[in-house]
Structure 1
Amino acid sequence: MDFIFGLPRDAEGRTGVLVFVDRFSKMVHLAPVAAEVTAEESAELFLDLVFRHHGLPESIVSDRDPRFTSAFWTRLFALLGTR
């Protein structure tokens, strides 16, 4: 999971792209995002773009800080209905 920011604004004002790469299939999933994207929004995008096609991976690699990563996993598991 990675983010690219500083792009020209789209029609909805988004200036970033959230990038998910499935390491097994090498398939790339892209989602336009605002510069202020939250971990919770990222988890929802992950569920819509990646989980539905590939299921839950054993690991997700990200260079975000631990608070973002924790919020991401917390929201993802809440969306999946696990505790």
Structure 2
Amino acid sequence: MYRDLREVYWWSSMKKGIAEIVVKCPNCQQVKVEHQRPGGLPRSRRQHDSIWVIVDTMTNSDFLPVKTTHSAEDYARLYIQEVVRLHGEPVLIISDRGAQFTAQFWKSFQKSLGSKVNLSTAFHPQT
């Protein structure tokens, strides 16, 4: 509201005055955008609350239900069961910088499979 009004009007303490008016205005309070953190996914019957997305450029994508509390060992077990079993061992993995994927265990695990691991740059997952 302040940005719109400042193009046409001006008075001293304008920003503060507009804020006071908006707080008292019922219509303004009803249409005001809430600034809340996203709530996350609903839990499945098996209590999964997150999705692990694996994109294989040759065979397509896998979407695996996981829990936010999974450790690197849990991801390794799931990786063997759902990815390596179906598609074989990958040559190159580009991973985000989640704690479970930067852990020494995960690095050693991928090395034992013969996979090279590159960590992506923030906001550029294709790197």
TM-score by length of 1: 0.69
* 1:71-82 matched pairs, under 5 angstroms: 71-75=105-109
1:37 to partner: Cα distance: 1.3
Cα contact 1:43–1:73 (8 A) shared by 2: no
Provide the aligned length of Structure 1 versus Structure 2.
Answer: 74
Change (3 A) 1:76 1:21: same
Match of 1:36 in 2: 69
Cα contact 1:19–1:30 (8 A) shared by 2: yes
Q: Is there any run of 5+ residues in structure 2 with no aligned partner, and where? A: 1-38, 114-127
The answer to whether structure 1 residue 11 and structure 2 residue 51 are counterparts is no
1:48-72 deviation per Cα after TM superposition (whole angstroms, max 9, x unaligned) = 1111122111111111257733322
Measured on the aligned residues, the alpha-carbon RMSD in Å equals 2.5
Match of 2:95 in 1: 62
| Structure with more relative contact order (C-alpha pairs < 8 Å, separation 6 or more) | 1
Cα contact 1:15–1:34 (8 A) shared by 2: yes
Match of 1:46 in 2: 79
Question: Percent of pairs identical after alignment?
Answer: 34
Which of the two has higher C-alpha Rg?
A: 2
Cα contact 1:22–1:28 (8 A) shared by 2: yes
Cα contact 1:47–1:76 (8 A) shared by 2: no
Q: Is there any run of 5+ residues in structure 1 with no aligned partner, and where? A: none
SS of residue in 2 equivalent to 1:61? strand
TM-score by length of 2: 0.48
